[in-house]
Amino acid sequence: MLERIRIVLIGTSHPGNIGAVARAMHNMGLADLRLVAPRCEVITQESISRASGADHLLHSAQVVETLEEAVADATLAVGASARSRTLPWPMLTPRELGGRLSDECRADSARVALVFGREDSGLTNAELQRCHAHVHIPTNADFSSLNLAAAVQVVAYECRLAWLDGQQSAPSESDADTEAELATHEELERYFEHLERTLITIDFHDPDKPRQLMARLRRLYLRARVEKMEMGILRGVLTATEKAAADKAR
């Protein structure tokens, strides 16, 4: 299960924090680190010293340009946020997230991406809306923002507790073979692009007056945990809709 969990850091600006994240991850048995457009050097004296012996994670960390690249294969993406946002999204505590992980990680193809934001400004709304759910570490409401590596530590600890729980309980009957494969993040993003194009074609959606329509639809489809086969049906519906609109226009 721990091998299927990835930590994604977006736009990190302090090498010391990246080092401390590597240490927190290695302490808890996580190894998959991806850095999206870091705003600092990754391997520095400070990051190596803060990694305290977990610097192999700094060397194996994949550096990518966009969140999409970091989570393309993810079947569940969860954004860690210190603040609540304008459009409410499914919210989890780290413990509730841990409780879902053994189920979420059962299939061989399962990948869980835990996404953390910038030290100064966190995650943008667009980034948060690319996640199925948000995790918030309950804090003093007047002082809610943890240091980045401290936030990773708390969430990674709950992942480990959940994994330890799973080690103790007997393997369940519902194994990977019987679980339907979920659509990946990349497949969902392609669907959202197709959906938006179609809704514009049929004059349901005006990009100049968006009224959060796409964000609301994202929330709906992400909540549904769409399976690969269902994704095929939904794409088919859009293609047929586009064709019907084109035939009518002729």
Return the number of the residue (83 or 197) whose C-beta is nearest ligand SAH.
83
Least Å from the CB of residue 40 to ligand SAH: 14
Distance between CA 121 and CA 103 in Å, rounded?
Answer: 32
The residues of the shown chain that bind ligand SAH, judged by CB under 6 A, are 80-83, 116-117, 119-123, 135-137, 139, 144-146, 148, 151
CB of residue 46 to ligand SAH, shortest distance in Å = 18
Minimum distance of ligand SAH from residue 25's CB (angstroms)? 14
Three-state DSSP class for residue 6 = strand
> 28 or 107, CB closer to ligand SAH?
28
Give the phi and the psi of residue 33 in degrees, each rounded to 5. -115, 130
- Which of residues 54 and 137 has its CB atom nearest to ligand SAH in the complex? 137
Nearest to ligand SAH of 153, 198 (CB atom): 153
The secondary structure of residue 209, as a DSSP letter, is S
Residue 68 corresponds to which tokens in the numbers above?
């999409």
Round to whole Å and give the CA distance between 100 and 115.
16
Q: How far is the CB of 10 from ligand SAH (least distance, A)?
A: 8
In terms of phi and psi (left: phi > 0; alpha: psi -120 to 50; beta: otherwise), the region of 57 is alpha
